[in-house]
Amino acid sequence: MNRNWVRLIIGGLLAIPVAGGLFFIMQYLIASADPDIDHKKATKLADILMPEREIEAQIEQKVEKVEDPEEPPPDLDSPDLDMDMDNVEAVNIAPQTKVDISVSTGTMTQGDGEYLPIVKVAPIYPRRAQSRGITGYCIVEYTVTTSGAIRDPRAVDCQPSGVFDDASVKAALKFKYKPRVVDGVAIEVPGVQNKFTYELED
């Protein structure tokens, strides 16, 4: 007979008394248990309640008191807007070269109610003309509107041609005038001219 079968038979014979012994031991433990354990009343623990509390953050802020100055600051001088705007000279300093740009106003009357220049901005000397030492002038014509602004500026006479046109027109757009007033009503003034002179200093 195969040895494996012999081992299985012997193991089965030994397992029967072991299982029977365990069965009797379990029956003995059940029979000897205290029957009053299941009938005892369970002890109830007291409920623990935590009261709700609001947490307040206390932040101390220290504010330093600013003392009033003993003396008030000196009054600043207001800019003088009544300067003569008929001849405005502006200087644009480029690298290694000084540029003198003079701006002159075209013909206009100075009577009551006539338009008057308030703000005039000097043009920027074209870099190419400056590097080549080119000088000249450019006359720009435009319309002064009822609000004192500039409309439709155009170069009408520039020497040399095509060199200072754009710079002059851009500068004229930034001009500001007191508008002309007739019978208490502001009116437009067409055909106003300004001459921009471009010169290089030695």
CATH number at residue 164: 3.30.2420.10
In a domain, 37, yes or no: no
Give pLDDT tens digits for 37-90.
555 555 555 556 666 666 555 555 555 555 555 555 555 554 443 433 333 333
Give the residue numbers spanning the domain of 177: 87-200
In a domain, 109, yes or no: yes
In whole angstroms, what is the distance from residue 98 CA to residue 89 CA?
A: 13
Other C-beta atoms closer than 10 Å to the C-beta of 83 total 9
In the chain, % helix, strand, coil (3-state, to 5) comes to 20, 30, 50
In a domain, 73, yes or no: no
In a domain, 11, yes or no: no
Give pLDDT tens digits for 124-183.
999 999 999 999 999 999 999 999 999 999 999 999 999 999 999 999 999 999 999 999
In a domain, 132, yes or no: yes
Are the CB atoms for 151 and 141 separated by under 8 Å?
no
Total domain count, the chain? 1
Residues listed for the chain: 202
In a domain, 34, yes or no: no
Whose structure tokens read 């005039």? 120
In a domain, 128, yes or no: yes
In a domain, 58, yes or no: no
